[in-house]
Amino acid sequence: MKLCWMLILAGLTKFAAAQQRGLEFYLGAARQHSPLLHDYQNQIRSNQVDSSILLAIYRTQVNGISNNSYAPSANGYGYDYAITNGGQFSALVQASKVFVSRKNLANQINAIHLQSESTVATSSIAEKDLNKTVTAQYIAAYGDLLNLNFTKEILSLLNRQQRILKDLTENNIYKQADFLTFYVSLQQQELAYRQLDILFKNDYAMLNYLCGIVDTGAVNLPDPDLRMKSFPEIYKTPFYRQFVVDSLKLINQRDMIGFSYKPKINGFADAGFMSSFAYQGYKNFGASIGLNLSLPIYDGKQRLLKSRKLDIDENTRMNYRDFFLKQYDQQIAQLLQQLKATESLIDEINSEIKYSNTLIDVNEKLLEKGEVRITDFIIAINTYLNARHLLNLNYINRLQIINQINYWQSI
């Protein structure tokens, strides 16, 4: 007996846990399991490593170098001795350094930083897309559940009235044809319930699929209770931030072109052993230092052409930005208009439902007395059904509109 109670308690605990799976649970699971978001995070970490690699490149580099060759000759045949010295052996330790100005180095580091900024903006947009998709699917599954539960209520009402109507038919208060008409309506609602049950399970399975959750069971989804946030400020969103970062990247590229035409200086120093063993090879230990200077003089006007190409890229960026801003204003205005119209329609439907509900209550009492026609009662039920389904449809549509508006928020 104790074990039985423990099993019942465990089942209730599991059911209670399932009840807590609201929208935030699925959004969190989707973000946690998304390989795309993890990919962007790794790209940002990789860019941080690239910054460290760049700094390391401009530090002094030390390498061990050894070049060895032997060119034999016999009876005057062989490589020219004046060229080969008969052979060569070298073992050196060389230190080299590329000298670069602080502004040039800062420009290269900034390029990596801007790439990270671009990845952050892209990652934020990807997260918004994921949240929007998961929320839309959650709303769809919740809408199925609303219709399913409502149909279940109607079935309970019809089953209760079926028992009453059956007794009245047996007492010849209603005709057999009236009972059959009522029974057909009951069967239709049972079929509708089964269809809605299948639809809910499919949409719920798709929700789990999108979130990376392995769960074939069904739960009672709570109302997402979506509310519209403060009016979207487009200039603070990652959508617009991407255009800003692109502009900064173009400016950075212009500076990078300028730095590429600055003089380049490479210094080196080495020490070790280098000898052809032609004469007293044991004395050929030494050291050397050197400096390489590269100064661009003429490159066929490549600098001008590169600048023109960046001008074209900037023009393209501005066209996309301006078109995006126009689309944004138009879309937000349209969504707000749809939201206002939907909420107004919901108020009207609620008023109709009150009258339909009252009509059902009256017909239900008259049915128990045998004072109402079955067809009238069925018509009242269908009117109430249509109104409730229309209410659920518009309520779900309202949530979907709010989901689309919230998609454009800065957070």
pLDDT digits (tens, 9 = 90+) for 325-374: 999 989 989 999 999 999 999 999 998 888 888 887 787 777 777 777 87
Tell me which residue of 179, 173, 178 sits closest to 369, measured CA to CA: 173
Residue 221 has which token pair?
């989804």
**Neighbouring residues of 202: CB distance < 8 A, sequence distance ≥ 6:** none
**Three-state secondary structure call for residue 293:** strand
Residue 20 has pLDDT above 70, yes or no: no
Residue 192 has pLDDT above 50, yes or no: yes
CATH class of the structural domain 22-58+100-261+298-406: mainly alpha
Q: Where are the domains of the chain?
A: 22-58+100-261+298-406, 65-99+269-295
pLDDT digits (tens, 9 = 90+) for 26-48: 999 999 999 999 999 999 999 99
Long-range pairs for 211-220: beta carbons < 8 A, 24 or more residues apart: 211/26, 211/29, 211/30, 211/33, 211/134, 212/29, 212/30, 212/32, 212/33, 212/34, 213/26, 213/29, 213/33, 217/18, 219/18, 219/19, 219/21, 220/18, 220/19, 220/145
Residue 15 has pLDDT above 80, yes or no: no
